Chain A
């Protein structure tokens, strides 16, 4: 039996206090107030001292790109899992825009088997495609994907532009209990755009992408969600109009959920500076008003979840002309610390953070969540005060593309446990190493 001793256990709506968590055979067997001075029971074989730390249900990153199969030079499932473990994530959901696209059971099974073969131990819960080859023409095989282990469907990276196809996808997915994750972008409005349409794009002479390119699709999908009653999840919300539309839809009782990514609450389009491709992402970094709206949306629960949209790229795709550069930020290893900065600035509580990074993704994807006696011991231990400096070169991810390189951050996962097994350990001297 393993015990995580004396940490502040935060499991929103359930626990917030100093507890010991007992783990045996991969499951939580007890969560108890610490018995001061009491000697350990002989059954305890390992003690993890967590005093001063925050102990949370395992963090889930419901939106990542692991690039395998097809683009293993950018990331493999193994390196992505390592990055996830070090970032405090016990589970990650890779998007289907691989080569081949994860639009059928075989690809889904391959991803899961690669995760197992990696030996890292992080749970990989793939997201299947909405349409075959993500072409937006015909539905992918949702039943097969579901059987193979997919937890949702999405054509992420591309919007489903055909309104009827999106309607049918929602209806069809509903029958299998799969949420539909929407990449909201009106292609004709965004076409050719390399960054947010705003003062910065005007100054830099880059074609801009207006907020309306996102907002219009968010509103369409909300309309289809009302029509079908299916579970709709809006990926990477970046625009204030989208936040407003989602807030209003939730008030009406529409079953819509949403996520945003740390770069949208940390940065604005000014981060592009003098054509820094590390800050090129889709949807693009927006204005200060948008950034603030995203923070508000997170605080009031309009935006349910924080996902990294981890999008690793090689130097080849980023060290090029700005408009030719690939979109994306390698986010798994900075997501938690950036999100903790919201807590430090009193924009959200620690409990809300755990909700956004663990319980909400679990709820949206229909996974077991929280710290339940008898449940799987998926646990993250966070040192909220640990100061560290981002060094992209030392990322476990193959993707070193981040606008946060060299940033001084505070707060880090120091232990990640999946099914009772420690997959990352940074507590002892020599903190930061991976097991």
Chain B
């Protein structure tokens, strides 16, 4: 059994189909650990994970942290306020300093696209991207893939609709890449203000109608609408957005009867998603969160050289 073909986890485009399958299969085993009464194995005992969160995040930070701890790795999480960035030191300097303290993995969340690539060029350690600007969030795409595969038994041949601010979403970019790679078709829906130049070049169909995107979809992925985007003239009001793009009970009926409802969180109930849909029978939003820990455990394990079925 082989391991990953890549040292760093920076974006979905650099993972092969085999890599993705390996990660998802490994995550299934890891999920089982989280469901035991004693949620801890000694697999990464003596290893150290350093996480940098230069952008606020609760669920992703906790998810990575729990993943490390469940594998018995020591984890240190630094947030922007606690880091030297505020003292004027550069990101590369900060990480070079930490590198000589011999951690084994660096996890980074940053508001600048490409920040994990910058680190990967300057340090010898494996770097895991926990979200960089509008660019990528590979562990999110992997947990989404895991959730869909778990519920549907497959990815290939499914139709995924992603609705929301596609232009500014790393979740959208990464999921388009990941789902397309694994054989699904992807349609994105948004007003033109929320679609980036040449989005179809990423392999997604494009529509300005939420209804059209949802027609026949197997999976509906809603993106969070940030109300501060109003200031950038991306839409005219939260009310109008909810009416034209929000996922309502009525709208869900256009999808396949067994369609899954996903959302990367945090939710704006009543804006992009109606509360009864978010909490309804088709919603797998909490499964996504649970699977996030399993996927991150799998990433730590595999990035440190673990191989499938090689765990304990």
Contact A205 B90 (CB under 8 A): no
Q: How far is the CA of A321 from the CA of B136 in the complex (A)?
A: 15
- A185–B41 CA distance with the chains assembled, in angstroms: 57
Out of A197, A205, A324, name the residue touching B197 (CB < 8 Å). Answer: A197
Q: Are A319 and B134 within 8 A (Cβ)?
A: no
Q: Please report the C-alpha to C-alpha distance between residue A246 and residue B132 in the assembled complex, in whole angstroms.
A: 39
B134, A206: Cβ atoms closer than 8 Å: yes
B196 near A202 with CB under 8 A, answer yes
Contact with A along B67-103 (1 / 0, CB 8 A): 0000000000000000000000011100000000000
The reply to whether B110 and A321 form a contact with Cβ atoms under 8 Å apart is yes
Q: With A205-B132, A206-B133 as given contacts, are A274 and B114 in contact (CB-CB < 8 Å)?
A: yes
Q: Known A199-B198, A319-B92, A320-B92; judge A205-B134 contact (CB<8 A).
A: yes
Which residues on the A side are within 8 Å of B133 (C-beta)?
205-206, 323
Chain B proximity mask over A208-226: 1 for CB below 8 Å, otherwise 0:
1000000000000000000
Chain A residue with Cβ nearest B173: A205
Is A207's CB within 8 Å of the partner chain B? yes
CB distance from B122 to the nearest CB of A (A): 8
Cβ of A202: which chain B residues have Cβ within 8 Å of it?
Answer: 196-199, 201-202
Interfacial residues of chain B within 235-276, with CB under 8 A of chain A in the complex = none
Interface residues of B in 113-149 (CB under 8 A from A): 113-115, 117-118, 122, 132-136
- On chain B, the residues within 8 Å of A199 by CB distance are 197-198, 201
Known A-B contacts A323-B112, A324-B112; A208 and B197 likewise in contact (beta carbons under 8 Å)? yes
**With A197-B197, A199-B197, A274-B117 known to touch, is A321 a contact of B91 (CB < 8 Å)?**
yes
Contact (Cβ within 8 A) A319 B90: yes
Q: What residues on A are CB-neighbors of B112 within 8 Å?
A: 321-324
In this complex, what residue of B is CB-closest to A191?
Answer: B232
In the complex, A32 has a CB within 8 A of chain B: no
Query: Which residue on chain B has the smallest CB distance to residue A275?
Result: B114
Q: Please determine whether A205 and B170 come into contact, CB atoms closer than 8 angstroms.
A: yes
Q: How far is the CB of B96 from chain A (nearest CB, A)?
A: 11
A275 to B197, CA, bound (A): 18
Report whether A198 and B118 are in contact in the complex, using a CB–CB cutoff of 8 Å: no
The answer to the question of A36 belonging to the interface, with a C-beta cut-off of 8 Å to chain B, is no
A213 CB, nearest partner CB in chain B, Å: 13
Interface size class of A (residues with CB under 8 A): 20 to 34
Residue A24 lies at the interface, judged by CB distance under 8 Å to chain B = no
Residues of A within 8 A of B202 (CB): 202-203
* Distance in Å: Cβ of A202 to nearest Cβ of chain B: 4
- Size category of the B interface is 20 to 34
Contacting pair B90 A316 (CB below 8 A): yes
B174 shortest CB reach to chain A, Å: 9
Q: How far is the CB of B178 from chain A (nearest CB, A)?
A: 15
Question: Which residues of chain A are within 8 angstroms of B197 by Cβ–Cβ distance?
Answer: 197-199, 201-202, 208
Whether A322 lies near B199 (C-beta < 8 A) is no
Q: Are A320 and B134 in contact (CB under 8 A)?
A: no
- Chain B residues in 8 Å Cβ range of A322: 112-114, 118
- The winner among A197, A322, A324 for most chain B CB atoms within 10 A is A322
Instruction: Name the residue of chain A whose CB is nearest to the CB of B121.
Output: A274
When C-beta atoms are compared, the residue in chain A nearest to B114 turns out to be: A275
Cβ of A204 < 8 Å from any Cβ of B? Answer: yes
| Residue contact B135 to A205, C-beta cutoff 8 Å | yes
B150: min CB distance to chain A, Å: 28
Residues of B within 8 A of A197 (CB): 197
Q: Provide the residues of chain B in CB contact with A203, threshold 8 Å.
A: 173, 201-202
Give the CA-CA distance A204 to B170 in the complex, in Å.
10
Contacts of B196 in A (CB 8 A): 201-202, 208
Q: Which residues of B contact A194 (CB under 8 A)?
A: 113
Q: Are A323 and B113 in contact (CB under 8 A)?
A: yes
Alpha-carbon separation in the docked complex, A207 to B232 (Å):
13
Taking CB atoms, residues of chain B closer than 8 Å to A323 are 112-114, 133
New A-B pairs, 16, CB < 8 Å, besides A202-B201, A320-B91, A323-B133: A199-B197, A199-B198, A199-B201, A203-B201, A204-B113, A204-B135, A205-B173, A207-B134, A208-B196, A275-B114, A275-B118, A316-B90, A319-B90, A321-B118, A323-B113, A323-B114
14 contacts between A and B (CB under 8 A): A199-B198, A199-B201, A201-B196, A202-B196, A202-B202, A205-B114, A205-B170, A205-B173, A206-B113, A206-B114, A320-B91, A321-B110, A322-B118, A324-B112
